[in-house]
Amino acid sequence: MPYALKYIKKAQSSLDEKYLSMVMSESNIQKSLSHPNIAKLYEVDANGSIKRSTGTEIPVLYMVLEYIPGGELFDYIALSGKFSEMVARYYFNQFISAIAYLHGSGYAHRDIKAENLLLDQNFNLKVIDFGFTAPIHGKDGSGFLKTYLGTVGYMAHEINMQQDYEGAKVDIFAAGVLLFIMVAGHPPFIKAIPKDPYYVSLCKTKQNVNMFWAIHQKGKPAGFFSPEFQQLVTKMIAYDPSDRPSISEIINHPWMKGTIPSDKEIRDEFTNRISLIHMRKEEEEAEKKMKQAQNANFGANKVYRSASKLNIDELNKRQMRPYEHLPGMMTSKGFFLDEKNILMTISDFVYDRNGEIKLHDKYMKAEYMLVVENENIVFTAEVKKGDNQNYLIVERKMGNKIDFLETYVKLISQVEENYKETESK
């Protein structure tokens, strides 16, 4: 039976006693769990060592884990396409079984996302990464958890508002986001707060569930989302935690009782999908190397701007002085952030300044309005996929040019800072 070995060099200055304690706590929780859809941790040793070819021994913390070769569920969705509701149901049943077991064992996961779900050699789902796992009833037994953590696009409203929260309820919220992504191929919103242009339709004060689904139906075939699917997801990502269903209610929901593919049908489909993923990763790597060679002529990390609509191919051929034109923007290596992360950063920037956001027909484009020096600044921001990177295009629509430039510089600095933080993780 093959195993996976993970080790962390204890010589690293970042591996202090607090971090070591956190890793050991995570390991002890995972080691205590035994479920077919949870990655198994067989052994952990905080006093291990590895020997270099020179004979030098390095102190490490090591873990012996179940070997799961199929890759992340995220890659299957991002690189081979969204799932049919039947396929999503097949995997969501496995996932909910694992989460029901985890909750029954007294723990909340708190970082449910597609990147933390792997597929094994038979394309069965495995839940991983228990770094944020905590006692489901709170460390003090109060029934609530208090730490602000998770992955923003999957975090429940109450976490985003930095309120105390119930572990089971926030896991169910994140599971609803996950289910939506499986079927739609994109997130249901940027951030679960009342000012989010997508989530606002689910908030108590302006609740309009039909509007929420009408927005997401745009550009998709009629009846793309089944009524049962809409009902289940709407309940799971409800604004009020008390409106979210229990695990038992999810398991017994009519959508969960629908038809699922056979194991053979899954193996056949996902064998084809994994071939497509490998091909696209190879293409991306080849494109990345080609871009690096092209960009070597004028250096990475430069900022380019264009007065008219941004032509990425044209901008790759020439270097422009800062502020020479207004206001399209890209970097020669692009942002290695996903579209959601870039727009989420922009939305946070606008929210923090009490601005307004309007939806655009395109999913990854929005219009923003800020008040600067008592004048309105209106601009659009759009994220476009380009080769192996994502490009941010910003266009001024209204407002003083100087005020816009100052706002624009602050905005781009925030996106770039987010990129640096993501890159360092």
- Catalytic residue annotation: 111
Question: What is the Cα Rg of the chain in Å?
Answer: 23
- CA dihedral (252, 253, 258, 261) positive or negative: negative
In the block, residue with structure tokens 């009833």:
137
Length of the chain: 425
Q: Give CA–CA dist 28/46, Å, rounded.
A: 12
Strand-pair category, 117-119 with 41-51: unpaired
